[in-house]
Structure 1
Amino acid sequence: MSGSFFCMHPSEGSWNPYFYAYYYKQWKDYEMAYHEHRWTEIMYVIQGGCTIDVKCKSGHRELITLRKGEFIVLDADVSHRLIVEPEVACRMLNVEFGFEEGETSFDSSVKSLLAEEKALSDFVKSPFEYMVLSDPDEVYYVLKSLVLELDRQPVGQKNTMTDLLFLQLFVRIARLREELVLTREPSAEGYVKRCILYMHQNYDRNIQIKDLAAEVRLHPGYLQRIFKISTSQTMTEYLTGIRMEKAKMLLQQTDIPIYELCDYVGVSSSQYFHTLFKKHTGFTPSIYREQTERRSW
């Protein structure tokens, strides 16, 4: 038996997941005693917030605040405790699992994935005592499906569906970790800057997310995440802002007919341009131009 995610490195033998506990729990005004498990634990915050007090093996303590949509992965034998303040209730989903030795279809699937999926291969080569990730709802839905499936089967009995869901969970956590690592590197900022430059140079065209991703050679989903982290806006919101600022300039400084402006700023129709412009500025294009001319006069 092994309790750690990191036994799943190909050189460590053949392993299959075994689930020790899985449950929903709402906590309030609660302080848990320090404890540790011989297996891996995932603590996912569904609502509210909490603090996880981790005692690292070096003796150093870490206090980690978790909010809705965040989760912590605690490796085996890491001492920790849960703290929930009186004024903040915390609803949590916990899954605790380890691994049994043995060759099965699950083991062969893991080895195939490790060969194909760089994020997964990097994950099992980078041991940690704990890891905190923010989830765009991908991990939660897999966790929830896994727990429901475990509830349907007799205790201790394995089935193919739980193996498939665990594989999906494993991949999603590894990909989130990879994205976290990349966004902390200078290269992530560089990708965002190149993306913004492309928007400024091509705002008059029908730009789609896939075009931006192709320009910087990144997966569209990953690019959208690092862009939002960097700018606090989606790529669509940022591009619309560029287009509307350009439209304001054209209304102020040219005599281009308003019905033609949509073609100058890459908006699909004149009606949609009116809608976007009013949402962005609070004025229709015609009123904005009239006010600009009046101020100029």
Structure 2
Amino acid sequence: MGANGHPHVMAYYFKQWLGFEMPFHRHDATEIMYTIQGYCEIEIQSQPSHTEKVALKKGEFIIINANVAHRLLVDEANPCRMLNVEFRFIPNKGVFPSIQQLAAEDDLLFALLASEAPYLVLRDGDEVYHIMKSLVLELDKAANKSDLMVQLLITQLLIRIARVWRETVNSGEAQSERYVKISMEYLHQNYDRDIQVKDIAGAVNLHPGYLQRIFKSLTGQTLMAYLTGIRMEKAKMLLLETDVPISDICDYIGVGSRQYFHMLFKDYTGLTPTDFRKSMYAEKRNYPERS
């Protein structure tokens, strides 16, 4: 967030949006967009050639870093009520500790301020909303507002967001492990079928691209590489322990093409299926079972 000094609120408002397409824009303030009711989408252009779309439902909010291009999209059939707060950091004034001093005493706040992510999407348990609302009501007092109260509230807001972020990360890591485990079980149970990534993603109710990312992150393999490993190990077992004809083994392991099976097997073992079976038979003859 480029935190330096005190957080200072530049703009804030409640707004009911309906059938609205905001043009891409950027500003030198960090923006928090909180969905109070309804549904909306935010498009983020973190790089000139890269645009991402984020959906926000009731109780969800997004923090967009300063100078990141973005725009709001609201469908006519789905109105959206939001609370927005924009702030940036200004030089210290008064006796209230700087954000750096506070972050030095709170590891989660420090991590949030140090994050270089262009945006974060989080789900609230109402605490963030209540702090934002209290901040806006205090700012609305104009001449009667307390600068100290404003600093306390915006600092409390950032600390609370930092905690929500950490809880989300921790929960996401545990959930990712669960999705990967279910995906592995699905592959072990269905390797004999024609499987595509979308089928695995459907089994765990995730977007295929997201499942691919978390699977690769946690296992070091792609989904299809993991599936190929299962199939090749099953093929090795069939070649070694059964008399199933090599020409039929591809059907047992879900590889439709015999030529493709031979290519995969040689890449995996360094041997053709025929050579593998012969070598295994030779080993059995050389090492007879003891009675």
Q: Deviations over 1:203-260 (max 9, x none)?
A: xxxxxxxxxxxxxxxxxxxxxxxxxxxxxxxxxxxxxxxxxxxxxxxxxxxxxxxxxx
1:40 is matched with 30
Offset from partner CA, 1:27-67 (integer Å, 9 cap, x none): 11111111111111111000001000111135310010000
Deviations 1:12-34 (A, max 9, x none): xxx11222111100011111111
Q: Spell out the pairing of 1:117-156 with structure 2 (5 A cutoff).
A: 117-154=106-143
Which residue of the other structure, out of 45, 58, 66, is the alignment partner of 1:68? Answer: 58
After TM superposition, the structure 1 = structure 2 runs for residues 245-256 of structure 1, keeping only pairs within 5 Å, are none
The residue aligned with 1:168 is 156
Alignment correspondent of 1:182: 170
| 1:189 to partner: Cα distance | 6.5
Alignment of 1:148-297 (within 5 A): 148-154=137-143, 159-186=147-174
Q: Distance in 2 between matches of 1:114 and 1:46?
A: 29
Q: Which amino acid aligns with 2:139?
A: L
- Aligned pair in 2 of structure 1 residues 71, 41: CA closer, same or farther (>3 Å)? same
Give TM-score scaled by structure 1 length.
0.56
Tell me, in whole angstroms, the C-alpha distance in 2 between the residues paired with 1:158 and 1:59.
44
How many angstroms apart in 1 are the aligned matches of 2:41 and 2:161?
21
Separation of aligned partners in 2, 1:26 and 1:18: 25
User: Are 1:79 and 2:69 an aligned pair?
Assistant: yes
Q: 2:104 aligned with 1:115, yes or no?
A: yes
CA RMSD of aligned residues (A): 2.2
Q: Aligned residues: percent identity?
A: 45
Matched position secondary structure for 2:140: helix
Does the aligned pair in 2 maintain the 1:182–1:188 contact within 8 Å? no
Counterpart contact for 1:16–1:104, Cα < 8 Å: no
Structure 1 runs, 4 residues or longer, greater than 6 Å off: 187-190
User: Quick one: distance in 2 between partners of 1:115 and 1:151?
Assistant: 31
Alpha-carbon distance in 2 for matches of 1:54, 1:187: 25
Structure 2 unaligned segments of length 5 or more: list them: 179-291
Q: Contact between 2:42 and 2:73, CA under 8 Å: does it hold in 1?
A: yes
Match of 2:39 in 1: 49
Name the count of aligned residue pairs: 178
The CA deviation string for residues 147-166 of structure 1, in whole angstroms up to 9 with x for no partner, is 000000239x8610000001
Superposed CA deviations along residues 49-99 of structure 1, whole A, max 9, x for unmatched, are: 100011113531001000000001011111111110010010000111111
Query: Contact conserved, 2:3 with 2:100, CA < 8 A, in 1?
Result: no
Q: Distance in 2 between matches of 1:104 and 1:161?
A: 13
Output one character per residue of 1:158-178: Cα deviation in whole Å (capped at 9) or x when no partner: 610000001100100111111
Map of 1:6 onto structure 2? 2
State how far apart, in whole Å, the 2-side matches of 1:106 and 1:59 are.
42
TM-score between both structures, scaled by the size of structure 2: 0.57
Secondary structure of 1:35 counterpart:
coil
Q: Is the 8 A contact 1:183 1:189 kept in 2?
A: no
- Rg comparison, structure with higher value: 2
* Letter of the structure 2 residue corresponding to residue 39 of structure 1: A
Deviation at 1:186, TM superposition (A): 4.2
Amino acid at match of 2:14: Y
Give the whole-Å Cα distance in 1 for the aligned partners of 2:32 and 2:81: 14
SS of equivalent to 1:96 = strand
Q: Secondary structure at the match of 1:106?
A: coil
Aligned amino acid, residue 175 of structure 1: R
Q: Give 2:17's aligned residue.
A: 27
The aligned residue for residue 243 of structure 2 is none
Secondary structure of residue in 2 paired with 1:142: helix
**AA partner of residue 87 (structure 1):** A
Separation in structure 1 between the aligned mates of residue 48 and residue 174 of structure 2, nearest angstrom: 29
The residue number in structure 1 matching 2:204 is: none
Mark the runs of 5 or more structure 1 residues left unpaired by the alignment: 9-14, 191-297
Secondary structure at 2:97 match in 1: helix
Partner of 2:49, secondary structure, is coil
